Structure 1
């Protein structure tokens, strides 16, 4: 049987409300965005898993061999495991919409779930994602809502690659929006406000 378990933090929400998965960045943990998610959607079920890969003690969701160089075999493993985890918990909690938010490495595992399992998430926020390969087309992304937030001077997730990912989602028929700020790989207030506006219809 495939392992779909993680160390996680969970808060059960009200019946008939969305389930909201949040994914931390490298070196973060299940607490990084938990309270933020709880404030965004106070009635939703909130679930925050901790990455099951350690990079010199820093938690991640999949392995890499260098900055921006992914272990594609481990990315495939991690994506399938996480998709199974999301499906299992969404069924257990009898949730309506399935929502996701990830930052940096967390955005990357979420983005790859969208690429490989296009019908899994109804709405997703990718904060400073980096997908350094050409994703395969997935018609199941049509109509899915995606918000990408990014820094114009981000050295880890360069602007051309962010634009390329947004263009990919647009070609699949997703409803994609991009929120830019003038900084780098840091979170700004404008991003926080954009995320709040994006999820307002699910509150």
Structure 2
């Protein structure tokens, strides 16, 4: 009878410990994470009211960063930035080391996004949840290695973004058009000034 009580107490303790243990966060698929990253960025682009040309620049640099990290998950995918103008040689993962490339892609994506958008705090709230999910499911070394790799790629992409002449175009005066026939001019009902009229001065990726 005494041994039965001991077994019962131990069983109760094990049950309580199991209930108290925090369950792991469900690890979302790579596709789900990457799609939601883009969705979160889109919401910020809308909120910050970027013009379509500027939005295209934001999408281009962030997506390139994400791709350059994620492509290592499948050896059949080649680098894109090595085929474009003005980018340095991308870093490579350490051989024989484990990485989570979706995490690396997320870090690369938002490393760039922080520098090309305004509402960074909104992005960080989402990011922290994603990083917590990975931290809960990966060993510490894989997590840290993946984040570091993604940050390296993000910073490489930003080096190209910083010299594409975008900042110089921000200092241009507004284009209000001309009254000359066949020339552009503001029209009703809004009479808005020309959008990104000097976009053609931006450094191209190819050609």
TM-score (norm 1): 0.30
More helix by share: 2
Considering only CA atoms, is the larger Rg found in Structure 1 or Structure 2? 2
